Amino acid sequence: MTASPAGGARGGRDDTVAAVVRQWRAVHPDLDTGPMEIIGRVNRCAALLQQAEDAPLRRAGLSRPEFDLLGALRRTGHELTPGELARETFSSGAAVTKRLKQLTERGLVERRGDDRDRRVTHVRLTEAGRTLVDGILPEQLAYETAVLSDLDTPGQTQLAALLGELLMRLEGRAGTLRV
């Protein structure tokens, strides 16, 4: 089902954002609610996707931020410093430090000091961490495939391109919003 330009969904049903937009239009008919129709849907989709996608993580006793750290280490294929992990996962240094402590205690990551600079720590996955990530990832991808299965390939390609453009704009060259 695709969204109509008026904010509703084709086929006679509205999504929750269409109802919210209608309510705002009734209260403030002079305001342009077009951005809300996009941002509201992106936010709602993200929340719903994350709830369902996090089920395999909960079963493994992981939080989403912990899995993001493990995933960053797995996909880069090499050791990272806590600062690099913070940048990779859009997290604060303090949050990364706390999560690394928990993951180290669980035996999923190992830390080692830098040979040249004792202030620097390098983090790598343990075999248990690698096994855990590799076990969870296929389940997550299967879920994502099922979610997108109602969109044809050109629709998925178009959506990916549009979201990519929006993300590049939001990230900007220096990581700040460009308006």
pLDDT tens column, 141-175 = 888 888 899 999 999 999 999 999 998 998 885 45
Tokens standing for residue 100: 């690394």
Residue 62 CB burial class (10 angstroms; 0-12, 13-18, ≥19):
buried
pLDDT tens column, 24-69 = 999 999 999 999 999 999 999 999 888 877 888 888 899 999 999 9
Instruction: Give the single-character DSSP code of 80.
Output: B
Confidence of residue 3 (pLDDT cuts 50, 70, 90): very low
Tokens standing for residue 109: 């990551």
SS3 at position 113: strand
Total Cβ atoms within 10 A of residue 129: 21
Tokens standing for residue 38: 């996009």
Tokens standing for residue 71: 């995933």
Q: Residue 152 CA to chain centroid, in angstroms?
A: 23
CA distances from 128 to 5, 57, 65, 107, 135 (A): 49, 15, 18, 7, 10
- CA distance linking residue 16 with residue 18, whole number of Å: 5
pTM of the model: 0.74
